[in-house]
């Protein structure tokens, strides 16, 4: 089953103690699409500027990603510039230029209309709701957000998640959105707003999925996937979108949404998020093989299973 | 197999947003002993003052814990007073009176000499080394410490862990001791000092065990146990010692130290640490049943296993 992603495509400058890159292809839709492409067919809706060239298109094409929905606008592509410290949670933003992304109005190509799986990446929650409305026939919708939207448009965000299947955010965002320091209480408050399930990512500690009671055949308990301890987190950019790509890409590839599929999807999400941070930008996501992915999946199993 | 614990017995004043208790029986040896008592026979070495009465002794006796090694000294029992915030990681210490604990010199009763399993709880690392030396025949030795010893006696601590099987500490302590912000690098630096294995506890995110290559039949990867997300952490006091009690108590009960035993021990550690924080002081550890413990163990399995 094909999965449709709406989000940003960016050209980023990134620096960390392990090196730096300039005008590196990034953005939420890019990381998601590359990650999900190892599992299923991916369709992208985004906007780029005149500095987005054939070499960038080729990155998507080599992974069989459909970019009919990438709109070309006059101006420059969304640009972010930042620097990570030795602690990957410390990040200084040097520059942020919205450019063509500022007036982004997602348009759904005719060929995308039959998409049953959708990921609403980090964009304005009103646009997320808009896309959701236009894709009434979708079977399964995931959504990510960003502290900026939680702070500036919390009501619009609450509305957007009222009509989706799963929200995928991190610890800090969950606490910020629920205004509660306790993670379980935060999860329950967010689930009360509508989504059937909620994934909270804990960075190096893995991720937990919480469910509305009985949703997708799950019992009353959450499910937790690990993360592989890494000695070098070279560049955390895109880890969350790579997680979402592995998670939703695997679900879409299965064509059914059961408790067993969710559990494996959590493992695949953790696997892809972990790969993303091992190299700069999208580098590691470009060269993976399904064999490497499944070997890491197997390692996750050995790291958590009693037998 | 009996397990011997050396540590503190205390009478604590504890406050949190969920209530408060005064002169509550606590200390590292107490939490460890109560937790381990659900798995195996426990022997305690500690010192108490004149305010430690029959009602306190009865708590240990009711759990079949051998307190021959609890020395009674003139003066008052070790006393700690502290207050936790809504975030259980925020703790203000109001008072600390070492009292009889200040001159604690562990003495090993004749009846304890055949102990094959030992837990060196949070005391001066020189005393930990001393006890280790006197118990040459021990088969398996675990050790905990505290930021105070890491800061003030790092060399003595490095010496103490050179001669043990497993060190059990938390994230912050591992980073502080290894002087490294990265957890995997910290683990490797600590393992290089001698212990065959290292458990790092991540609080609400569970715990990870790292091994020296090939130790105990483990492969090159760590093993991770979850923690149950809780909506109320009423009192975090003693969680680490309860973890150690479940972990080492289970290992001692099996009489063999294999990879499979370690994995299950990690789960039991997480189970007991989680129970400890659900109520004030030792309250929850006093009233547990093995059935409740095994039900929680089963829940941990469901929370982490794919099938």
Interval B264-290: pLDDT, tens: 999 999 999 999 999 999 999 999 999
Q: How far apart are CA B19 and CA B123, in angstroms?
A: 28
Asked if B269 has any chain A CB less than 8 Å from its own CB, the reply is: no
CA distance A49 to chain B (A): 38
User: Coil, helix or strand for B146?
Assistant: coil
Residue with tokens 């009711």: B62
Question: Residue A89's pLDDT is what?
Answer: 85
Element (H, E) at B22: strand B19-26
pLDDT attached to residue B212: 93
Which helix (H) or strand (E) covers residue B4, if one does?
strand B3-6
Chain mean position to CA A218: 23
**CA closest to B85 among chain A residues:** A181
Subunit contact A184:B231, Cβ cutoff 8 A: yes
- Its pTM stands at 0.96
Burial profile B26-62: b = 16 or more Cβ within 10 angstroms, e = fewer: bbbbbbbbbbbbbbbbbbbbbbbbeebeeebeebbee
Angle at A150 (CA atoms; ends A149, A153), nearest 5 degrees: 60
Position A100 scores a pLDDT of: 97
pLDDT of residue A190: 98
DSSP string, B168-206: EEEHHHHHHHHT-S-HHHHHHHHHTTS-SEEEEE-GGG-
pLDDT averages per 10-residue partition of chain B, 307 residues = 97 95 97 98 98 98 98 97 90 95 96 97 97 95 97 98 97 97 97 97 96 85 96 94 98 93 97 96 97 98 96
Nearest residue of A to residue B226, measured between CA atoms:
A224
Q: What is the pLDDT of residue A7?
A: 98
End-to-end CA distance of chain A: 33
- Chosen for mutation from A174, A186, A226 (greatest number of chain B CBs closer than 10 Å) is A226
Q: Return the residue in B17, B258, B304, B305 with the most chain A beta carbons within 10 A, the one to mutate for interface testing.
A: B304
For the CA atoms of B245, B248, B249, B253, what is the dihedral angle to 10 degrees? 170
Phi/psi at B31 (5° precision): -60, -45
Q: What is the pLDDT of residue B179?
A: 97
Tokens of B20: 């408060």
User: Tokens for B100?
Assistant: 């009889």
A–B: how many Cβ contacts below 8 A?
A: 83
Q: What are phi and psi of A97, to 5 degrees?
A: -120, 110
Q: How far is CA A201 from CA A46, A69, A210, B29, B50, in A?
A: 25, 29, 11, 35, 50
Q: What is the pLDDT along chain A (307 residues), one digit of tens a residue?
A: 899 999 999 999 999 999 999 999 999 999 999 999 999 999 999 999 999 999 999 999 999 999 999 999 999 999 999 999 988 888 999 999 999 999 999 999 999 999 999 999 999 999 999 999 999 999 999 999 999 999 999 999 999 999 999 999 999 999 999 999 999 999 999 999 999 999 999 999 999 999 998 898 887 799 999 999 999 999 999 999 999 999 999 999 998 999 999 999 999 999 999 999 999 999 999 999 999 999 999 999 999 999 9
| Residues of A whose CB is below 8 A from B260 | 306-307
Work out the minimum CA distance from B185 to partner chain A, whole angstroms.
Answer: 6
Contact call for residues A54 and A15 (beta carbons, < 8 A)? no
Which residues 50-109 of A have a C-beta within 8 angstroms of B?
A: 86-87
Domains and CATH numbers, chain A: 3-163+228-304 (3.40.1190.20)
CA distance B230 to chain A (A): 6
Please check whether residue A133 touches B, CB under 8 A: no
Q: Considering only CA atoms, which of A160, A102, A110 is closest in space to residue A133?
A: A160
Q: How far apart are the CA of B25 and the nearest CA of chain A, in angstroms?
A: 27
Q: DSSP labels for A24-78?
A: EEE-HHHHHHHHHTTTS-EEEEEEE-TT--HHHHHHHHHTT-EEEEEEE-SS--B
Binary contact (B86, A206; C-beta < 8 A): no
Name chain A contacts of B87, Cβ cutoff 8 Å: 181
User: Would an 8 Å CB–CB cutoff place B237 in contact with chain A?
Assistant: no
Can you spell out the DSSP letters for B95-121? EEE-GGGGG------GGGTT--EEEE-
A229, two tokens: 């301890």
Kindly identify which residue of chain B lies nearest to residue A182, measuring between CA atoms.
Answer: B231
- What are the tokens at B27? 């200390």
Q: Which residues contact A218 (CB under 8 A, 6 or more apart)?
A: A211, A259, A262
Residue with tokens 């093995």: B290
Digit-coded pLDDT (tens) for B8-44: 999 999 999 999 999 999 999 999 999 999 999 999 9
Q: Report chain B residues whose CB lies below 8 A from the CB of A223.
A: 302-304
pLDDT of residue B218: 80
Does B204 contact chain A (CB < 8 Å)? yes
């Amino acid at each position: 089953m094909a999965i449709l992603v709406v989000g940003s495509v960016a050209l980023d400058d990134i620096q960390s103690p392990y090196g730096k890159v300039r005008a590196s292809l990034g953005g939420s839709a890019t990381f998601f699409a590359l990650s999900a492409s190892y599992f299923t067919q991916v369709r992208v809706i985004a906007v780029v500027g005149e500095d987005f060239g054939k070499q960038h298109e080729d990155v998507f094409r080599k992974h069989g990603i459909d970019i009919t929905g990438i709109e070309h606008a006059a101006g420059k592509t969304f640009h972010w510039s930042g620097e990570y410290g030795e602690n990957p949670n410390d990040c200084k933003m040097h520059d942020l230029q919205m450019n063509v992304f500022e007036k982004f109005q997602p348009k759904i190509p005719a060929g995308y209309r039959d998409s049953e799986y959708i990921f609403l990446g980090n964009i304005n929650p009103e646009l997320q709701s808009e896309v959701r409305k236009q894709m009434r026939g979708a079977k399964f919708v995931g959504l990510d957000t960003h502290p900026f939207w939680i702070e500036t448009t919390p009501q619009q965000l609450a509305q957007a998640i009222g009509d989706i299947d799963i929200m995928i955010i991190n610890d800090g965002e969950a606490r910020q959105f629920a205004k509660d320091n306790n993670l379980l209480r935060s999860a329950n408050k967010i689930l009360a707003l509508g989504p059937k399930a909620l994934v909270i990512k804990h960075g190096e500690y893995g991720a937990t999925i919480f469910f509305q009671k009985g949703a997708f055949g799950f019992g009353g308990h959450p499910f937790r996937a690990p993360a592989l301890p890494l000695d070098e987190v070279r560049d955390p950019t895109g880890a969350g979108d790579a997680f979402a790509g592995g998670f939703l890409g695997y679900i879409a590839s299965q064509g059914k949404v059961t408790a067993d599929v969710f559990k494996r999807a959590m493992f695949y999400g953790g696997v892809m998020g972990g790969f993303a941070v091992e190299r700069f930008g999208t580098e590691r996501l470009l060269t993976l093989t399904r064999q490497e992915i499944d070997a890491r999946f197997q390692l996750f199993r050995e790291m958590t299973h009693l037998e």
